[in-house]
Each structure stands twice: as structure tokens, then as C-alpha cells.
Amino acid sequence: MTETRNNETVVDLKNVNYEYTTKNTIVQAIQNIDLTINHGEFVCLVGPSGCGKSTLLKTIAGYLDPTSGECLMENEPIKGPHWKRGVVFQSSTLYPWLTVRKNIEYGPRTRKKDKEEIRKTSDYYLDQIELTDFAENYPFELSGGMKQRVSLARVLANKPKLVLMDEPFSALDAITRLKMQDFLRILWKKMIRLFY
């Protein structure tokens, strides 16, 4: 999911390959990947388990360096993780010692944003994920769906250019998963309206 801005290219992958060695063999996790993602696009990678979807996401996120090929973001080589590429994982990765609000504010704080701006940002996302009443709660006090909403808000509060999601709702029950998918579609549409 990317912010919308005149169809400019956000990510450009050129002949990207990633392989690793196990005890007995060399595994070609992804091979000859060419992919362009523009601002405002919602792109889904679909395929069977083990086909390289997570490896490709980790490569775009900057967690893995490709064996060969070129990974660019806004025409610059992707070298390691960066706040411009937010990642929402399969399970929530919230800091248990921080409240919901403090988890959402973590990125902007580390980027030394203005305190008033940080507060406005957390207020906005708490409202968007419908957890304003839980702002001072800790992660252990939340349901699985609530934690994933906070995880998504924490990524969005950092105002990334690109949001990467690796099956973030797979561990949730069917009803909560459907609610989270609806929530994500609504949020994406709001972001499109915001940036157009």
C-alpha cells in the first residue's frame, strides 16, 4: 500500500534474484523478478507457501540483499531497512512495555518529530483504528485484532512511502480477519482521498 502521488514510481525491481545455501543444496528463493510499484497502488503477491513471497517482501523492505539484480526505491538503491518502508508482520510486534499510544508514537519520536505533531498523529490514528479508549492500555490487555490494528497504526504514524504487509491477519480468527481486511480497504481509500 503506497501513498498516492501522480503515479510516480515508488519501487522498481530489475531482474532480482535471491538464493541461500542449506546443508545439502542451494535454494533459489526468488528468480528473475521484475516489478514496478507506483504511488497509490495496492499490490498483492499471491502464491503457494514457500514460493518466495516473504523473501521478496523482505528484499523490498531492505532486510535481505538480493543475490543479484537491482532493488530501487524512488530511483535510489535499497540498502537496509528505512522508515520510508513500513512493515506489518504476521504477528504483532508491539513493545509490551509501551502503551498503545506510545507504540504508535514510537517511530515519530525516534525521528525527533515535534511533540505536538506526534500527539496529533497518535490521536488521528487512534481514532482511525477505533482504539481511542484504549490509548493508555498495554498490548497484553488487547485482543489479537486490536494488536494488529495498533501494529498497522504504528507503521502508518511514521508516514512511510510504502507499507509492506506479510500476511498480517493470518493468525486472526475468520471474523476478525474479515473486519481487519475491511478496515484496511477503508483506510487505503481515505489515504487516496487525502493525497489526491
| pLDDT value, residue 195 | 47
SS (H, E, C) 131-187: CHHHCCCCHHHCCHHHHHHHHHHHHHHCCCCEEEECCCCCCCCHHHHHHHHHHHHHH
Looking at the domain assignment, is residue 46 inside a domain? no
Least confident window among 99-103, 160-164, 172-176: 172-176
Q: Are residues 65 and 92 in the same domain?
A: no
Residue 190, classed as helix, strand or coil, is helix
Q: In 3D, which of 83, 82, 33 has the Cα closest to residue 55?
A: 33
| pLDDT value, residue 189 | 76
- Which class for 13: exposed (0-12), middle (13-18), buried (19 or more C-beta within 10 A)? buried
Instruction: Return the CATH number at 146.
Output: 3.40.50.300
φ, ψ at 82 (rounded to 5°):
-155, 150
The confidence band for 3, taking pLDDT boundaries of 50, 70 and 90, is: very low
Average of pLDDT values for 94-116?
A: 95
Report the domain count for the chain.
2
Q: Are residues 91 and 182 in the same domain?
A: yes
Radius of gyration of the chain (CA): 17
What pTM was computed for the model? Answer: 0.81
- Using one digit for the tens of pLDDT, what is the confidence trace for 46-62? 888 888 999 999 999 99
Q: Are residues 109 and 34 in the same domain?
A: no
| pLDDT value, residue 128 | 83
Q: Which domain holds residue 180?
A: 83-196
Q: Are residues 106 and 162 in the same domain?
A: yes
| pLDDT value, residue 154 | 93
Average of pLDDT values for 169-182?
A: 79
Identify which has the larger pLDDT, 116 or 181.
116
Identify which has the larger pLDDT, 190 or 164.
164
Distance CA 100, CA 43 (A): 28
CB of 73 closer than 8 Å to CB of 85? yes
